[in-house]
Amino acid sequence: MTAEELHIAFTEAVARVNEHQEPFPADFLLRLYAYYKKATNNYSRPSSKKQIINAFKTNALFQIQDITEDEAKKTYIELVNNYFLYKK
């Protein structure tokens, strides 16, 4: 997969998540959050009003700190595809 194809697939996966109407499980959302932040090279601090949520988000980011942005995009895409595959 070329870098452009990966970017397109990632963008489509993000859109699919954003269009989904039902709530996602919290652990799944944390994984999506971490991989999205890594894939987009966005290292801004978590901004939840609840400190515990910020701690979980920070921990999720810490767990994937050693992967590349492309690996994060691929994993994000896989997570989304698997979720919707088994959600049917």
Displacement of CA 39 from its chain's centroid (Å): 8
| pLDDT tens sequence across 31-46 | 999 999 999 988 777 8
- Which domain CATH number covers 55? 1.20.80.10
Task: Indicate the pLDDT class of residue 88, thresholds 50, 70 and 90.
Answer: low
**How many structural domains comprise the chain?**
1
What is the tens place of the pLDDT at every residue in 47-85?
A: 788 899 889 999 999 999 999 999 999 999 999 999 998
Structural domain harbouring 69: 3-87
Question: What is the DSSP-derived secondary structure letter of residue 1?
Answer: -
Q: Characterise 41 by phi-psi region: left (phi > 0), alpha (psi -120 to 50), beta (else).
A: left
